[in-house]
């Protein structure tokens, strides 16, 4: 939860002026206006998250399933219960699709369900990159530095084209497709797609579909839509089915997800995510 009286209105958000040149990579910068520590819980979403701490004294503290990390960290897919506190100063958040994460980080399968210090994944370069970003004079310069660093690493471990296609189709369909159909599209057996997808992206095709569908539902809830409507629009059997999936993935209720500050900033920090064309937004998430 957030500290008393703190809202996303107390944070300055910076986004790149133009779409990034790296597919599957999105960035946003955050600067806290208010003094004192805050606390916010992450909500699972279909990307690997890099938080680069740009404060002078390790202002970001992350607690995840009993493990505490101070400073920059990486949260893998389905990281479990993660609470980020002490967001004083500034930080850069980078979201990588599993396909991009495989290329940039090299071993996304090992990150699933975990939160680790950035230098454990990035190696000795992490501190150097942090120093360059911290010394930059503007967010535009920081975004350029980050894009250059990510671009240089992006060819290290690309996934197979069939796996990348299966991921893109899963996202485009908002998780509402069958694994058999995906396998047929790429010319593989169901078993081969299942094993290669899991080995390279860190979760199964069915698990990916569940996560993408949950993410769509979570943002509809955050936009103020009723749970029953969200269940129908997101492809759940009924409202009870939605409730069970939210509980299984996020560890909370649809009502709590609807009020989650982590989601409330998405329309500002991650423009162009794409709204559900079948629903109008009853309120802006701020």
Residue 48 pLDDT > 80, yes or no?
Answer: yes
Share of the chain above pLDDT 70, in %: 84
Domains of the chain, first to last: 8-153 (2.60.120.10), 161-269 (1.10.10.60)
Residue 157 pLDDT > 80, yes or no?
Answer: no
**Residue 56, pLDDT score:** 72
Q: What is the pLDDT confidence band of residue 109, given thresholds at 50, 70 and 90?
A: low
Report the candidate in 204, 163, 171, 170 with the shortest Cα–Cα distance to residue 187.
Answer: 163
Contact 53, 71 (CB under 8 A): yes
Span 145-155, average pLDDT: 87
pTM: 0.87
Lowest mean pLDDT among 66-70, 172-176, 243-247, 256-260: 66-70
**Residue 122, pLDDT score:** 84
**Residue 9, pLDDT score:** 65
Quote the strand ranges of the chain, DSSP E. Answer: 11-14, 25-32, 39-41, 48-53, 61-64, 67-70, 73-75, 82-85, 90-96, 115-117
Residue 185 pLDDT > 60, yes or no?
Answer: yes
Span 93-103, average pLDDT: 92
């Amino acid at each position: 939860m957030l500290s008393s009286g703190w809202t996303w209105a107390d944070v300055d958000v910076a986004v790149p002026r133009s779409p990034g040149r790296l597919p599957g990579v999105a960035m946003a910068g955050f600067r806290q206006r208010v003094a004192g520590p805050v606390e916010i819980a992450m909500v699972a979403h279909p990307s690997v998250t890099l938080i680069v701490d740009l404060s002078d004294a390790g202002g970001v503290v992350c607690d995840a399933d009993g493990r505490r990390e101070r400073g920059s960290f990486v949260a893998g897919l389905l990281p479990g219960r993660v609470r980020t506190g002490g967001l004083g100063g500034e930080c850069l958040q980078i979201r990588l699709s599993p396909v991009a994460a495989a290329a940039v980080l090299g071993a996304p399968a090992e990150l699933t369900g975990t939160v680790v210090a950035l230098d454990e994944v990035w190696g000795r370069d992490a501190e150097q990159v942090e120093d360059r970003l911290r010394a930059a004079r503007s967010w535009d310069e920081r975004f350029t530095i980050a894009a250059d660093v990510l671009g240089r690493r992006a060819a290290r471990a690309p996934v197979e084209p069939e796996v990348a296609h299966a991921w893109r189709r899963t996202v485009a369909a908002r998780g509402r497709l069958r694994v058999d159909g995906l396998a047929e599209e790429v010319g593989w057996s169901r078993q081969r797609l299942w094993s290669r997808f899991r080995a390279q992206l860190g979760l199964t095709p069915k698990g990916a579909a569940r996560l993408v569908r949950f993410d769509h539902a979570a943002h509809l809830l955050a936009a103020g839509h009723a749970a029953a409507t969200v269940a129908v629009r997101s492809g759940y059997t009924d409202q009870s089915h939605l409730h069970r999936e939210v509980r299984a993935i996020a560890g909370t209720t649809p009502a709590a997800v609807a009020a989650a500050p982590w989601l409330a900033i998405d329309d500002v920090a991650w423009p162009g995510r794409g709204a559900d064309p079948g629903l109008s937004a009853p309120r802006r998430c701020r």
